[in-house]
Structure 1
């Protein structure tokens, strides 16, 4: 039976009627995106894989009660984010850094941070295949609370207000964490970005 051309809503309806192939198509449609999101937040392949499985298990269980069936992608993203944050809290891996605390480089040098014009921000480098690996490594050096807002806002394209709602924090806190994360990434990618700039 041909199901690939069906909408999410139609696939959910069929899955709720017991058609396993319909859920398999939903899984294929969203699996990679959910995994990438979780890998960005967790910075660990095993955790991301485990949580991806849990997201789709919950999706399978919740499909009959899903209110907005046309917005399955958003529901999966929200569920994935919540599961990731819960796991980080359980593992006590989240470092609740003070936003007023000094930011230090790898050599221990303190740097003053401030919100800068995002034009030319190094986060745009995520789209460049040459820089993507360097950016991923740099993201891994951020604390989980800063990495999560970067992944949700810059990589998933969510507005600041939606990130705040998903994480249960004020909009101002999201903006502050993004500003601090931007500066940290500029420092971590400084040499690489300067080399790229010289070639332009």
Structure 2
């Protein structure tokens, strides 16, 4: 794949990267930084991509690692939180985001990748470097917790 094709594919997946990152980090500036760092690292390391079919999986794995780096950095720093984003989000989007943020990261990420980004369980397992059975178990636990969050069975993906 030449540089132009690589750039186009990266551009096409940018919104997916932002959506995944938004479930991992709480501040807009952090997920913007994470996506930017991911794009730079993917470009710099594009020669390491062994199979073009797995480009999106590879880039999302870079993003997840970058989100973890930012989370570790934030834990070490004492910072004053940025004010919340002044632009209102739709009520349903806020409610779903709030519900997802109640989940532990290991439960939240498979749910977002499966239901929002439409990845298959096998692809999610590769991204997270866990067996498929683990992904299925985490998704089942996440669905259970979301149902409890919404009340008796009101959550339907």
TM-score, normalised via structure 1 length: 0.56
Q: 2:3 aligns with which of 1, 13, 20?
A: 13
2-structure distance, mates of 1:151, 1:184: 14
User: How far 1:59 sits from its partner (Å)?
Assistant: 1.8
Unaligned 5+ segments in structure 1 are: 1-8, 16-21, 94-128, 195-200
Query: Aligned with 1:41: secondary structure?
Result: coil
- Residue matched to 2:44: 61
2:142 matches 1:165: no
2:137 matches 1:147: no
User: How far 1:84 sits from its partner (Å)?
Assistant: 2.6
TM-score, normalised via structure 2 length: 0.69
2:142 matches 1:181: yes
Query: Aligned with 2:23: secondary structure?
Result: helix
CA RMSD of aligned residues (A): 3.1
Aligned ranges for residues 42-61 of structure 1 at < 5 Å? 42-61=25-44
User: How far 1:69 sits from its partner (Å)?
Assistant: 4.1
2-structure distance, mates of 1:174, 1:77: 16
1-structure distance, mates of 2:57, 2:125: 15
1-structure distance, mates of 2:10, 2:130: 30
Unaligned 5+ segments in structure 2 are: 76-89
- Residue matched to 2:84: none
- Residue matched to 1:41: 24
**Number of residue equivalences:** 140
In the superposition, relative to structure 1, how do residues 29 and 166 fare at CA in structure 2: closer, same or farther (>3 Å)? closer
User: How far 1:70 sits from its partner (Å)?
Assistant: 5.9
Q: 2:99 aligns with which of 135, 138, 148?
A: 138
User: How far 1:68 sits from its partner (Å)?
Assistant: 3.3
Cα-to-partner distance string for 1:49-92 (whole Å, 9 max, x where unaligned): 1110110111221234433346543332232123334544x369
2-structure distance, mates of 1:91, 1:155: 27
